[in-house]
């Protein structure tokens, strides 16, 4: 009898316990569901939606009251993950350089540049503004060319033909403001060497008075007399033979020069004419490699190549091509040493996304 009573009491207690437990566990489920959804939206990628926690909640949501409570809970959609630029980027020493060239012996004179022939390879790069001027001068170039390639590189033209003397004066002055420690050579743009000597002299004078140490003129024997006269007035001149970008419309496109005998002979005549006119250096663009090598060994001024093989007395390139900043197809001889265009685009897209997501980047 006593045993029977005991059994009855135990069963009653168990029933009560069950009754009490039931709603509590439902409430718990609802709270967990609520927190887990919003937390997940912040912390976890969408794929973790099948986690144990969610499965348990789904299993437990069977009774009516739970369904009702769940309806009232605003379910937030998980936010897609956006790459955020770190607020604490790894510390970098901005002054640290991987390569450093001894700048102490670089002199901003044409005499110095000419004297390098036979001693070491000469390096020239283009610049059109103060920042690039400073950078490439610090890198140790022997000369900066303010080329009329500014037209295709910065100004959005298809060729260098639309570039004016005013453009060249403007960019030459900017390069000078970068205070480079090397020689600055400025290009005479299309047409300046073919109108009259007075016009040529006046344009060269403007370039010199706005920061150039010397001017560059495209052409060989046809412009040699004018070059001689300029040199006589105290304006140092760099020659430019082979492919002449200012004649691209006349020659029907960019191509190699000096591949056949006649053209090779003409290049030789051009190079000698420029030497005799007093050029302190000559650029050889897109020239057959063997011809460029021979010419370099035959003329007194340094022959500085671009797309003319590696046996010239030096090399010049368009800096924007070299740094990967040129969007259009590059000339085949350019091997870019950086991807600044792509890197810049990635950095800017990241910034735009961060701002759209109200994630201000602070240092």
Does 308 help bind ligand KIV (rule: CB under 6 A)?
Answer: no
Q: In whole angstroms, what separates CA 254 from the centre of its chain?
A: 24
Catalytic annotation present for 285: yes
State the nearest-atom distance from the C-beta of 306 to ligand KIV, in Å.
Answer: 5
> Whole-number minimum distance, CB 348 to ligand KIV, in Å?
27
- Do 320 and 339 form a contact (C-beta atoms < 8 A)? no
The reply on whether position 149 binds ligand KIV by CB under 6 A is: yes
| By CB under 6 A, residue 141 contacts ligand KIV | no
**H/E segment holding residue 249:** helix 248-251
Q: Does 321 bind ligand KIV (CB under 6 A)?
A: no
By CB under 6 A, tell whether 283 contacts ligand KIV.
yes
Q: Judged by CB under 6 A, does residue 273 bind ligand KIV?
A: no
* Angle at 227 (CA atoms; ends 226, 232), nearest 5 degrees: 100
**Alpha carbon distances (Å) from 304 to 121, 159, 198, 267, 315:** 9, 22, 29, 14, 5
Contact between 318 and ligand KIV per CB under 6 A:
yes
Judged by CB, which is closer to ligand KIV: 41, or 116?
116
User: By CB under 6 A, is residue 147 in contact with ligand KIV?
Assistant: yes
Pick the stretch among 90-98, 146-154, 253-261, 262-270 that binds ligand KIV (CB under 6 A): 146-154
Between 114 and 354, name the residue whose CB sits nearer to ligand KIV. 114
| Alpha-carbon separation of residue 211 from 132, 139, 168, 180, 282 (angstroms) | 15, 20, 11, 11, 21
For ligand KIV, the closer CB: 294 or 326: 326
Tell me how far, at minimum, the Cβ of 196 lies from ligand KIV, in Å: 23
Our finding on whether 148 is near ligand KIV (CB under 6 A) is: yes
**Tokens of residue 163, six digits:** 């570039």
Asked whether the beta carbons of 347 and 339 are under 8 A apart, the reply is no
**Interhelix angle 289-298/261-277, nearest 10 degrees:** 30
Judge whether 255 and 232 are in contact, CB under 8 Å: no
**Would you name the residues annotated as active-site residues?**
285
Q: State the residues that interact with ligand KIV by CB under 6 A.
A: 126, 145, 147-149, 187, 283, 285, 306, 316, 318
């Amino acid at each position: 009898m006593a045993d029977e009573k005991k059994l009855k009491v135990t069963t009653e207690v168990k029933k009560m316990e069950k009754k009490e437990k039931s709603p509590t566990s439902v409430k718990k489920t609802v709270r967990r569901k609520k927190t887990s959804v919003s937390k997940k939206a912040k912390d976890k990628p969408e794929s973790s939606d099948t986690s144990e926690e969610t499965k348990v909640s789904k299993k437990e949501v069977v009774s009516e009251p739970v369904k009702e409570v769940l309806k009232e809970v605003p379910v937030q959609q998980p936010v897609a993950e956006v790459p955020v630029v770190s607020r604490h980027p790894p510390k970098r020493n901005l002054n640290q350089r991987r390569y450093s060239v001894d700048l102490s012996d670089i002199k901003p004179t044409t005499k110095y540049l000419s004297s390098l022939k036979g001693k070491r390879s000469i390096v020239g790069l283009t610049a059109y503004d103060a920042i690039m001027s400073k950078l490439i001068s610090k890198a140790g170039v022997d000369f900066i060319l303010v080329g009329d390639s500014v037209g295709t590189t910065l100004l959005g033209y298809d060729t260098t033909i639309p570039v004016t003397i005013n453009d060249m004066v403007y960019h030459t002055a900017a390069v000078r403001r970068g205070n480079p420690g090397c020689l600055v050579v400025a290009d005479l743009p299309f047409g300046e060497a073919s109108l009259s000597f007075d016009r040529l002299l006046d344009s060269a004078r403007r370039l010199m008075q706005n920061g150039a140490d010397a001017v560059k003129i495209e052409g060989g024997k046809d412009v040699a007399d004018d070059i001689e006269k300029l040199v006589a007035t105290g304006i140092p001149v760099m020659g430019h033979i082979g492919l002449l970008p200012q004649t691209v419309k006349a020659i029907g496109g960019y191509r190699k020069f000096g591949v056949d005998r006649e053209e090779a002979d003409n290049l030789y005549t051009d190079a000698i004419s420029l030497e005799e006119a007093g050029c302190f250096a000559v650029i050889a663009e897109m020239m057959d490699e063997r011809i460029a090598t021979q010419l370099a060994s035959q003329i007194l001024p340094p022959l500085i190549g671009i797309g003319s093989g590696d046996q010239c007395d030096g090399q010049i390139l368009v800096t924007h091509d070299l740094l990967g900043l040129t969007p259009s197809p590059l000339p085949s001889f350019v091997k870019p040493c950086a991807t600044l265009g792509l890197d810049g685009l990635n950095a800017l897209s990241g910034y735009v996304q961060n701002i759209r997501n109200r994630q201000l980047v602070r240092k």
